[in-house]
Structure 1
Amino acid sequence: MKAGYFTMPLHPPGSNVTETLESDLNQLVVLDELGFSEAYIGEHFTFEWENIPAPDLIIAQALGMTQQIKLGTGVNCMPNHNPMMLAHRVAQLDHMAKGRFIWGVGSSSTRGDYEMFGFDPNSDDRRAYTGETLKAILDVWKNPEPGLYESKHWQFRIPEPEDDIGLRLHLKPYTKPHPPIALGGGSPYSGTLVIAGQNGWIPISLNLVHNRVIRTHWEAVEQGASKSGETPDRNEWRIAREVYVAETTEEAR
């Protein structure tokens, strides 16, 4: 079993943001020194407790402060992002990481984030949007043909190349065909984890989920895998749990 780390993070409202960002970075350095295999950093915009809106910036700085640990977004909440912007930011970060980046994606966020980006918190529309956005990004990385791309939620145009001046959509990830993709799930028989199983991506059971729900998550992964002929590997399953560390077992309990 390998040890990993997930931070939302958690800092009391009113904390000094400069200090908490420095503390979060220092935690990643310690984890790297302890031999943790990977760490995921959350993304939130309107929740004071979880005050990192740009996990890719934390990862970019942490790459230069660490040696071996893999770093991932945990997760990029897809309803928060323009797919073309995210495709380029992720591809660039993957080049900077040279194999130490995991792209965690998902559809869930806070009620405030949904409202800020124009989504109904009570609607399942964000899940459809997440699928559309992820497909658009993967399509652009694979074959960025010039022309108009349209879906229910997005419309964007890839320009015709002008090779004489070096103008074309050119940036693709360092890792081929793309960095490892991890999908986070929290609901019973998570539809997101069905997608993970169907595509051979990394499934993550989120930390705020009851043990009874986690038992359904592997069934969801297997259900997805059966649709595409994938063979799911339990060693790829990430399960986030909250662990209280103290000097003694009695104190921790």
Structure 2
Amino acid sequence: MQLGMFMMPLHPPEKDRTQCFEEDIELVTRADELGFTEIWVGQHHTVAWEPIPSNDLFIANVLPRTKNVRLGTGVSILPQHHPVNVAVRLAFLDHLSRGRLNCGFGQGGVATDWGLFDLPDPQTQGLMTVEAIDMILKLWQTNAPFNFEGDFWHIKIEHRDAKDGMGELLKPYQKPHPPLAMSVIRGDSKAARMSGQRGYIPISTNLVPANTLADHLKKRGNHLLTVRYGGYHAAFILANQLRKLGNLP
């Protein structure tokens, strides 16, 4: 049996931040010692309960403290970052981990985070997320010169000088790229369909109704390859709900 963990993480708002981060580091290192297969780390900027604003920096910190566990961004909130920054930072992290990195992407769901970055409505953020994923994949798999022009970002390197090393972009350690995941809340969402169609790992949460978790499975149909649900109790809730639906013994 393989065990994984999703950590937002959760801490009382009044708790000392440094102590919170030290406890999170200890939790990850202990999980690695116990044989956990993977750990996903959340990211928010304005939530006192979930104080990690940069999950890639946290992963970089725990990498040398762990040996086997795979570490994933759960998720990188793409409308709040430029696709180039996400692509090169995760590629760099993949090399530092020697291929122990999973990459989770999503649009985020915290209104105060949206306001902090002056982001548009959630539907537009969803379109930004899809465009960012596509651009990140192109950056990981394309050598310059290139010109990627979307509705929200324009990314280009017009000239590449291989002799002098100019115009070279770092590619991931894993080929063609690390395993990809998407955050999914509603079973009928575009993210749910996209994760199934593209074979991405769906990351859900224990903060949605149990029947919604079960719906995530039903909506994917034949596209479902792997399901890994975030949240401390989500797996048990999901199993119970599927039994009620007659999909589990």
Return the TM-score normalized by structure 1.
0.87
Aligned counterpart, 1:251: none
Aligned equivalents of 1:173, 1:116: Cα separation in 2: 30
Aligned equivalents of 2:199, 2:159: Cα separation in 1: 33
Q: CA deviation at 1:156?
A: 2.5
Please give the residue correspondences for 1:44-55 in structure 2 after superposition, counting only pairs within 5 Å: 44-55=44-55
Q: Does 1:105 align with 2:105?
A: yes
Query: Quick one: which amino acid aligns to residue 54 of structure 1?
Result: S
Change (3 A) 1:125 1:73: same
Aligned equivalents of 1:88, 1:158: Cα separation in 2: 14
Aligned counterpart, 1:240: 230
Higher deviation after alignment, 68-77 or 122-131: 122-131
Match of 1:124, SS?
helix
Aligned counterpart, 1:127: 126
Counting matched residue pairs gives 234
Aligned counterpart, 2:80: 80
Query: Quick one: which amino acid aligns to residue 161 of structure 1?
Result: R
Query: Quick one: which amino acid aligns to residue 188 of structure 2?
Result: Y
Query: 1:76-124 CA distances to partner (integer Å, 9 max, x unpaired)?
Result: 111111001110001000111112111011112311111112223x531
Aligned counterpart, 1:149: 148
Match of 2:6, SS?
strand
Percent of pairs with identical residues: 36
Match of 1:74, SS?
strand
Native 8 Å contact 1:159 1:169 kept in 2? no
Q: CA deviation at 1:137?
A: 0.7
Aligned counterpart, 1:248: none
Query: 1:143-174 CA distances to partner (integer Å, 9 max, x unpaired)?
Result: 13324321111122224112342212231000
Aligned equivalents of 1:164, 1:31: Cα separation in 2: 45
Query: Quick one: which amino acid aligns to residue 81 of structure 1?
Result: H
Native 8 Å contact 2:144 2:167 kept in 1? no
Match of 1:149, SS?
strand
Query: Quick one: which amino acid aligns to residue 229 of structure 2?
Result: I
Q: Does 1:139 align with 2:129?
A: no
Identify which of structures 1 and 2 has the higher relative contact order when contacts are C-alpha pairs closer than 8 Å and 6+ apart.
2
Aligned counterpart, 1:117: 117
Aligned equivalents of 1:164, 1:123: Cα separation in 2: 44
Displaced runs of 4+ in structure 1, greater than 6 A?
A: none
Match of 2:79, SS?
helix
Aligned equivalents of 2:7, 2:135: Cα separation in 1: 28
* Structure 1 portions without partners, runs of 5+: 226-231, 244-253
Return the TM-score normalized by structure 2.
0.88
Aligned equivalents of 1:191, 1:219: Cα separation in 2: 14
Q: Does 1:175 align with 2:174?
A: yes
Aligned counterpart, 1:249: none
